[in-house]
Structure formats: structure tokens, C-alpha cells
Amino acid sequence: MDLRIRLLGLAGMLGLCSFALVARAFYVQIVDNDFYVAQGEARSLREIPIPTSRGMITDRNGEPLAVSTPVESVWGNPQELLKVPDRLPQLAAALGVPLDELQRKLSQKAGKEFLYLKRRINPDEAQRILALGIPGVSSQREYRRFYPQGEALAHVLGFTNVDDEGQEGLELAFDEWLRGKPGAKRVIRDGRGHIVGNVDLLRPAQPGRDLTLTIDRRIQYLAHRELRNALVKHGAQSGSIVVVDVATGEVLAMANLPTFNPNAIGSAPRDAHRNRAVTDVLEPGSTMKPLTVAAALKAGIVRPDSTMNLNPGWMKLGRYTIRDHNNYGVQDITGVIRKSSNLGAAKLAEKMDDRYFYEFLRGFGYGSKPGSGFPGESSGVLADPSRWNGLQKATISYGYGLSATPLQIAAAYAALANDGRYTVPTFVKGEKPQTRQVVDPEIARTVMRMMQTVTEEGGTATQGAILGYHVAGKTGTARKFNSTGGYSRRYISYFAGVVPVQNPRFATVVVVNDPDPAKGYFGGIVSAPVFKAVMEGSLRLMDVAPDDIDTWLAAQAKAAEKTDTPVPQVATALPAPVATQVTP
């Protein structure tokens, strides 16, 4: 009897417990279920980003220079993967990584639910990895940057990192413009992390905006190719070339060597990433002399027909001696430029006020950043006159004692060619950069005619002459400063030029650093031929009318005499000038 009562009591207690459990389950699941619904959704609902493509970069003619292509990134849930250690060797083999490396990464992220296993790979490769059916392995869509022009435009464009964020060059300068805004959506995942359904679009993805550059990829290719040929021919260490549209300040080409492949960032040393045309400062050598002459003409110290006695080819200035390459005797002002006389430039500077000369050069952009917006722009070095010693003004007049970048030199020559109006260089098509008048138009045109003699018979850069076109230019051969505080027997070879002289279109600077002296190092030998080759192609591509028909006809007649063929009958009058704003 007692046993029966105890059994009944136990059964009653179990029944009450069961009823209490059922009641509790009913309460939390039906009556007050908000907390547990939220917890359940937290384990199944996920907010995931919607990737967006970066804006395309094109050249001035719409040709793609940087594009984003869709790729896949394989990721895994470390918590799930660590539960199937027997599948890890198979996964490591598919990923192409050592097994111990994969195990170490998973162990380090054991408390996480997300780990990238392999990023930005071909979708077919990602599908082969997913086809293995390994628990906890999934993929997601991303974008990878591709540069069709490769190393030819590497320094201008820069590159992006694995997250498609701009790191250098214009990719960095316009990162916010190009990047776009990723979207977001809410999805349901199963226990293995796979998406089994879309719940809600939280925020649509906004693609990045496209960017049109002033660069012409055809001229860029010419510049890159000819610069490389010059470095190989003369055994040089490095080089830069900049081509600027005279009227607009648009940078049509900018190439540097050594360079790198932006599609394979790790394939070149870090030093090769530097855009030397914008960041490297160099003593500009004799490319300064036309500006010195322009300053003297503006100050009224000399007239274009004035003469200078350069005998005996040297002069003492304190304890220093300034020398010319030869004794040029008596020269007019044009001769100072044509013969590249250090002595002539120094004598002109000697007559100018220090502050006036300094401010004149500042007007042409020396000593201040060009303002193009390119990351890492250098301002160069132009010391305030209060810090000049007795020699510095003289050396500045012929290109020593100050420093500038190739872009600064190109912008200064474009100002001379543009009737004395300085235009801030730009890389973005359609921008209207600031301009300022820095010298009287007639003085600028006079100096241009003087520079024209440099590429003609008796000048220092006849190898820069272009058949059918008048070329205004200036060579430069600057000795390199060494670590001991003096100048070495190594050189930097320059040529800065404008073509055509009538209705100028291009201002171009070529810099070749440290050519082998045994193979020639003068600017007229090393850099002027690069200018000629690039400009010949550019004039043809841009359909720029010639301004020297007589020379072209004379060359045709001479060729006809050798081959006994009739001379082509063409009009001897110059064709109508081509507007400098014309694009192909």
C-alpha cells in the first residue's frame, strides 16, 4: 500500500514537472517569444555587404586605362573547418597553400566565423574549390583592378590594394571619386554558412564614378618607348619625360624609368614605384638660361639686339671661376642661348636685383608645388634671396643652386610658349586650371625665337630638329652633386622644347639621369633625339600643321636629286594654323 502511494506521488510530481515545462515552452515560444526570436534570427539572419565596382579611368579619347573586373574570394568559417580536420589537406591542396599554414591561420581565428582563404581569384577556380563540398567554405563576389597599358602608365595611374583602395598615383588622388559605396542586404544562412534566402535590401550599391584623364595613351606609349631606348643606348640609370599641352596645361604624357607592372605589384623593387617626374628634384642646368634672358629683357637690362663680350670664356666671381665650354667671344643675346653660355647668363643675372630675379622665377613655378593635385608633388628648392651668397644668383642663372622637377620645367616652358601665360598643369580632362601672366607676350615670343636657333645649324641641339616644323628648345647638361659635397663627373642630360614655334602645341621635357660618359652625356646628344622621336609621332597623331614648309621642300628636292624623281608639287604658303584645343 505504501509503495503504491509513493509511486502515485512520484507520477504526480513528474506530471506536474512535465506540465510546467510545456507551459514554460508555450509561454516563451508563443506568449513572450521576442527574445528567442531575436536570438534565433541572430544565428540565421546576416547583414552582408554588396560589393561595387570601382570607376573606370580612361584617356582623353575614352580608351580604358584602369578597369575593375569581377572576381571571387573564397572564405571559410574557422569554427566549422576545425570540426573536419580530415578535410583540411584537401582544402590546402585546392588553395595551393601548405597544410601547416592553413591550420595555423584557422587556429588563430578559432573563435571567429569568417576568414579569407584566397582572395580575388578567377570565378572558375573558386567554383572548383567550392565543388569539394567542404563544410564551412563559401565564396563572395569582389572586384579586381586591371591596367591594360601595364608599366607604360604605372606611375601616372598608381595602383589599388587588395581591398580596391587607391594606394598611389591618380588612383590615390581620386580614390573617393572612383571608389563608390558598397551596398548591404540581409540574408538567411544555414548551419554551414551558406545563403539560403534573401530577406531585405538594406542599401543599394553605388558604383564608382569614371575619370577621364588628359593623357593620350598613344603619346604615352611613344614617350615610354623612346625613353627606354635612350636609357639602353646610353647606359643611363633612370629617366623621365613630360609632354604638356601648351594652351591648356593638360599633361598628355608622363613616363618614368625604371617602372613597374601595376598588375603585379610585387614584381619590381619599391624604388621603381616613384614617379620621378613629379617627386624627384634635380638641378635643371642650362634649361634655366631662357628664363634668365627673359628676366633680363623684362627688366630692361638688355635688348634682343644687345651684344655681350664673353671673352676669354671665363670670369672670376670671388674665389670661384665661372667657365663656358668654349670661348664664344662676342655674342648677341640670342647667342647666349644658342651657345649655352654660362658666362652670358651669369653676367645678365649680375645686373638684376636679387628680389626681382627670385620673384620672376617664382612666377614660372620654381620653388612652389605645380598644383596638379598629383600625390607627392615636390616644390623643388629656390632659396629666398636673403639666404643667397655672392655666387648663388650667378649659378641659379645657368641652372645650379636650385632644383626643380621635370613637371615644373615643362610647365615653365609651356608658359613661354603660351605668350608668357603660366597655366597650372592638370591630369583631368575638362578642368579649367588657374592661369597667370608672368611675362609680356612679346618678350615670350622673342625668347621663343631665340630658342629656335638651338635646334638649327650652329645650335647645341640639331638632333632635336623636326623636318617641316620650327622647334624652340634648350639643352642642359648638369653635373651631379655627390655625397662628399662637390660635383662628380656624372651627369644629368636635359632637353626642354616647344613645337611648333608658330602656334605652339607641345612643351616637352626629357631628363636622362646618369648616362655612361663613354657613350655621350650632353643633352643635345642624349635627350634631344628622344624629344624628336616623340614629337614627330605626336604631331602626326594630333594632326598639327607644319610651320616650316620651306625646309621640308628643300629636303624633298635634295632627296629627289639623289633618286632622280620629280619634286612633289605642294603649296608653299603655310596652311591655316591648327587650334591648340583640337583633340583627335
> Among all residues, which ones are annotated catalytic?
286
Find the largest Cα–Cα distance for the chain.
Answer: 144
Instruction: Tell me the C-alpha distance between 267 and 357, whole Å.
Output: 46
Q: Which three cell numbers stand for residue 527?
A: 635627350
- In our burial notation (b when 16+ CB lie closer than 10 A, e otherwise), range 118-155 reads bebbeeebbeebbeeebebbbbbebbbbebebebbbbb
Q: Which three cell numbers stand for residue 392?
A: 648663388
Q: Within a 13 Å sphere around the CA of 249, how many CA atoms are in the beta-carbon half?
A: 24
- Residue bearing cell 554551414: 192
Residue type, 434: Q
Instruction: Tell me the C-alpha distance between 527 and 343, whole Å.
Output: 23
Distances (CA, A) of 198 to 48, 71, 73, 188, 272: 10, 21, 20, 6, 47
Residue by residue, DSSP assigns 40-93 as HHHHHEEEEEE--PPPPEE-TTS-EEEEEEEEEEEEE-HHHHTT-GGGHHHHHH
DSSP state at residue 403: B
Collapse the DSSP code of 489 into the 3-class scheme (helix H, G, I; strand E, B; otherwise coil) and give the result: strand
State the angle between helix axes of 99-108 and 88-95 in degrees (0 to 180), rounded to the nearest 10. Answer: 110
316 forms beta bridges with 321
410-413-417-419 Cα dihedral, nearest 10 degrees: 120
Residue by residue, DSSP assigns 230-266 as HHHHHT-SEEEEEEEETTT-BEEEEEEES---TTSGG
Residue type, 295: A
Determine the length of the chain. 584
Q: Which three cell numbers stand for residue 247?
A: 594652351
Instruction: Tell me the C-alpha distance between 35 and 213, whole Å.
Output: 56
Instruction: Tell me the C-alpha distance between 526 and 528, whole Å.
Output: 6
Is residue 231 within 8 Å of residue 257, measured between CB atoms?
Answer: yes
DSSP state at residue 389: -
71 forms beta bridges with 142
Instruction: Tell me the C-alpha distance between 110 and 567, whole Å.
Output: 84
Q: Which three cell numbers stand for residue 583?
A: 583633340
Instruction: Tell me which H or E stretch contains 506.
Output: strand 506-513
* Closest of 255, 239, 325 to residue 289, by C-alpha: 325
Instruction: Tell me the C-alpha distance between 243 and 537, whole Å.
Output: 12
Residue type, 112: K
